[in-house]
Copies of this chain bind each other. A is one copy, B any other.
């Protein structure tokens, strides 16, 4: 079996954009298996894609090639980069999309993707996903050595998103993060990881108080159904991050939650 290539974009599913990328990939790497992570990233929302890919990649095997393209700067001088981390490969525009992958990686090797021999013969100025990222991903999945894509880069050479991680005030004992994603069920997913909560507050997560939108939730639950139907729960969700949820309801409606709203956690 060939390797896996995942696709993440803000292309939506109505146009042919995703389909033609798959046509290009399968033409060059017939045996790969392609998995769509999401094509419903909000248009140009690099940060949303960074969080999605930063957590989703952990469920894929070594050797997987992740192609992510949220690319407001397509056609400008922005670079395309390849990152090797944790045995997986990540291809994306150099706009911060791989920031969380890089933060979480123990070590990473990085290259600029500029070897035109690997691209489609004709490269448009508006669709590098199809003309550059897709063929390069296919060749990498087919066994191309990463260092063939172009010259190495240092982490400091890349564009990094700022304010990705929550602020920690150890003296006051408070962690202040924000909502990053409102999921399909209206759950509010923050940038505060369960690992961070344990690190700061110790293992007793039931003794925490979570504040969001003027509301306080006392104690973390372990499941959506751990509170009454319609009640607000705070819990570490499937992504590994603190979420605010309403059991069989929508936390975004209840808490006026949307990306960017602050969420704080302290001892109760």
A interface vs B, CB < 8 Å?
A: 1, 4, 6, 10-20, 22-24, 26-27, 30-31, 33, 35-40, 43-44, 52, 55-56, 59-61, 64, 72-76, 124-127, 130-131, 181, 183-185, 222-226, 235, 237-239, 243, 248
Residue of B nearest to A76 (CB): B225
A222 partner, pick from B125, B222, B248, beta carbons under 8 A: B125
Does the CB pair A38–B15 fall under 8 Å? yes
How far is it, in angstroms, between the C-alpha of A211 and the C-alpha of B52 when the chains are bound? Answer: 40
How far is it, in angstroms, between the C-alpha of A27 and the C-alpha of B60 when the chains are bound? Answer: 7
Residue among A6, A38, A184 with the most chain B CB within 10 A? Answer: A184
A75 neighbours in B (Cβ, 8 Å)? 222-226
Distance in angstroms from A225 CB to nearest chain B CB is 4
Does the CB pair B55–A23 fall under 8 Å? no
How far is it, in angstroms, between the C-alpha of A248 and the C-alpha of B46 when the chains are bound? Answer: 13
A-B pairs with beta carbons under 8 Å apart, 25 shown: A10-B184, A13-B38, A13-B39, A13-B40, A14-B40, A15-B38, A16-B56, A17-B184, A19-B37, A19-B38, A20-B37, A20-B59, A23-B56, A23-B60, A26-B33, A26-B60, A26-B61, A43-B185, A72-B225, A74-B224, A75-B222, A76-B223, A125-B223, A125-B235, A126-B235
Q: How many copies of this chain does the complex contain?
A: 3
A126 partner, pick from B23, B44, B72, B238, beta carbons under 8 A: B238
Known: A75-B226, A184-B11. A26 touches B35 (CB 8 A): yes
Residue of B nearest to A42 (CB): B14
**Prevailing SS type, chain A contact patch:** loop
Does the CB pair A124–B13 fall under 8 Å? no
Does the CB pair A184–B26 fall under 8 Å? no
A237 neighbours in B (Cβ, 8 Å)? 124, 126-127
Distance in angstroms from A185 CB to nearest chain B CB is 6
Residue of B nearest to A33 (CB): B26
A4 neighbours in B (Cβ, 8 Å)? 23, 26
How far is it, in angstroms, between the C-alpha of A3 and the C-alpha of B44 when the chains are bound? Answer: 34
A184 neighbours in B (Cβ, 8 Å)? 10-12, 14-15, 17, 43
